[in-house]
Amino acid sequence: MTRWVAFAALTVVVLTVVLFSARASTRVVADLTDESSAPSGEHFSSTALLANVAGSHALFAAVLIAGIWLTDVPVSSLGIDGEISGLTAAVVGLTVGLALAGMNLALGAVIDADPSAALRGLLAPDSAGGWFVLVAVVLPIIAGFEELLFRAVLIGAFSTGFDLSPWLLAVVSSVAFAAGHGAQGRVGVAATGVFGFLLAAVFVVTGSLLASVVAHYAVNAIEFVVVEGLGYDPFGAE
């Protein structure tokens, strides 16, 4: 029998820690991108930052997965055995991810702003090996954990366990998702909230965690590769 209350309590704890960590990260990003306030001689490599991001996300994911197992949450509620699965889910996710990435780049060009620039610039590797780690390890971990928490758990599991509307939970989870991206500024938070709701819609409609993970990963990977890797500037920066 699933212990929904215990699982919900654990989820709230994880979410609270994630949001507090995100708030602390916002201050760190601000300090690192403000040369006038950076301590003399202080240097943070992209490798160290990537290791920190990947490690923290992997730890949070491990705690959630342990909670899922210990409280006997059915995997079907998490979209692991959804209406579509396997290659079909991956293709749907990739298609949606390509569309969202294109929309995001186009919107950035229209409003002449790139809210993710500061954070993305700090994380962008400076070597081929670093790019491999980013694309093959770090970004999948980020997409996997965030989709597990904000879509699979906050929407899928909670709608099943507490008989709540998945669309209502999609709104709530998208607000929480946006709050966790304060390092991108107000415009970035708003854009992330919309992005989160679109990913939530993918999850609700397809019932597939894999589809939302692939879509999320595709957007992040395309932005890094196109803007930081290839040097394409759709945002009109000087």
Give the three-class secondary structure for 81. Answer: coil
Asked if pLDDT for residue 40 goes beyond 60, the answer is: no
**Maximum Cα interatomic distance, the chain, rounded to a whole number of Å:** 59
Query: What is the pLDDT of the chain when averaged over all its residues?
Result: 87
Percent of the chain with pLDDT strictly greater than 90? 60
Crossing angle of the two packed helices 4-33 and 46-70, in degrees rounded to 10: 170
Average pLDDT over residues 29-47: 57
pLDDT of residue 46: 74
Residue 36 pLDDT grade (very low, low, confident, very high; cuts 50, 70, 90): very low
What is d(CA 232, CA 229) in angstroms, rounded to the nearest whole number? 8
pLDDT of residue 41: 40
Question: Measured on CA atoms in the order 133, 234, 236, 106, is the torsion positive or negative?
Answer: negative
CB 93 within 8 A of CB 202: yes
Give the three-class secondary structure for 39. Answer: coil
pLDDT of residue 23: 81
CB 147 within 8 A of CB 178: no
Backbone angles phi, psi at 20, to 5 degrees: -65, -40
The residue among 77, 53, 89 whose CA lies nearest residue 180 is: 53
Domain map (residue ranges) of the chain: 4-229
In angstroms, the Cα distances linking 22 to 2, 3, 90, 180, 187 are 30, 29, 29, 5, 16
Average pLDDT over residues 224-228: 87
Ranking 94-103, 107-116, 179-188 by mean pLDDT, the lowest is: 107-116
Residue 25 pLDDT grade (very low, low, confident, very high; cuts 50, 70, 90): confident
What is d(CA 11, CA 8) in angstroms, rounded to the nearest whole number? 5
Tens digit of pLDDT for each residue in 70-83?
Answer: 999 999 999 997 67
Asked if pLDDT for residue 189 goes beyond 80, the answer is: yes
- Measured from the Cβ of residue 148, the count of other Cβ atoms closer than 10 Å reads 25
Average pLDDT over residues 87-91: 94
